[in-house]
Amino acid sequence: MASPSMTQTQTEAYVCGLVPEHHDTKFVAQHLAAYAFARRFAAGKRVLEVGFGEGYGANYLAEAASEVAAVDVTPGNIPRAQERYARPNLRFLLTDGSRFDFPDGAFDLVCSFQVIEHIPEPLIPTYLREIHRVLTPDGIACLSTLNLDNAMKPGKPYTKLHYHEKEFTGPELEQWLSRFFPAVEMYGLYLSPSHYLFQRFKKWGLMKVGPAHLNPVARFYSDVTVDDFRIRRGITRAALDLIALCRNGAAS
């Protein structure tokens, strides 16, 4: 069940999390791409994930990190993740979100993916301040959220997802993060060239031609992986998600 202190939109967000075996491969790969990006900074490090959901990402990071602590505001997520992802270097913990139960500078890397959009805007400073507090002086925070500019299609009405509290454009997110971190690098999650091509084929209706097992478009979408996405510096409307690297010190 959801925590009594959660807002209605946060309660609804609790049931919209990613369960890898229950979602299509593209949706799973898109979410895992941010973890794959962050994992390069996790090798041998002390890692905190804020908002672990089902726990699949924390488990993925724990394959490389020396230790991973994963926190979430939803009590029911703790036993579910503990049962599914048992590792000696991985802990799943409950937090109320206002203060993490860790000392200052406890982690080399803090990850928080697809979380900030679920936080009521007045509480975002507390969330970011806590991430900054638990980072080492040379630590890195990696955050992601959807790209509002991509979600808002030109000439079409847009209503944010009802379980989102606040959605961000690239400049808005960078402005928020720069209030708490001396160095912020903004990246975008994009389709690979081949993925973009298959997306065009799908929009043209070619995915429904003939048996699925013989249709190259259908076969592509049944086997999408993180390699079918690209993360690169700079944000355009084409970026599906925003990914930020935040450093306590100057960028190297």
Judged against a pLDDT cut of 90, whether residue 241 lies above it is answered with yes
pLDDT at 60: 95
> What average pLDDT does the segment 116-120 reach?
95
What single-letter amino acid sits at 75?
P
Q: Lowest-confidence range among 64-73, 112-121, 137-146, 220-229?
A: 220-229
CA–CA dist 28, 225 (Å, integer): 8
List the structure tokens of 100.
Answer: 């993490």
The helix or strand, by DSSP H or E, that contains position 133, with its residue range, turns out to be helix 124-134
List the structure tokens of 107.
Answer: 């982690």
Ranges assigned E (strand) in 114-182: 135-146
**Residue bearing the bigger pLDDT, 13 or 39:** 39
The helix or strand, by DSSP H or E, that contains position 194, with its residue range, turns out to be helix 193-203
Average pLDDT value for the chain = 88
In degrees to the nearest 10, what's the CA dihedral of 12, 14, 18, 20? -120
CA–CA dist 193, 204 (Å, integer): 17
6-15, 24-33, 128-137: range with highest mean pLDDT: 128-137
CA–CA dist 114, 101 (Å, integer): 22
pLDDT at 200: 85
CATH topology for 8-191+229-247 is Rossmann fold (3.40.50)
Q: Lowest-confidence range among 12-16, 76-80, 163-167?
A: 12-16
pLDDT at 111: 98
Burial 10-46, CB ≥16 within 10 A → b, else e: bebbbeebbeeeeeeebebbbbbbbbbbbbebbeebb
Question: If we measure between CA atoms, which residue out of 197, 157, 183, 189 comes closest to residue 245?
Answer: 183
Provide the pLDDT confidence category of residue 201 given band limits of 50, 70 and 90.
confident
Provide the pLDDT confidence category of residue 92 given band limits of 50, 70 and 90.
very high
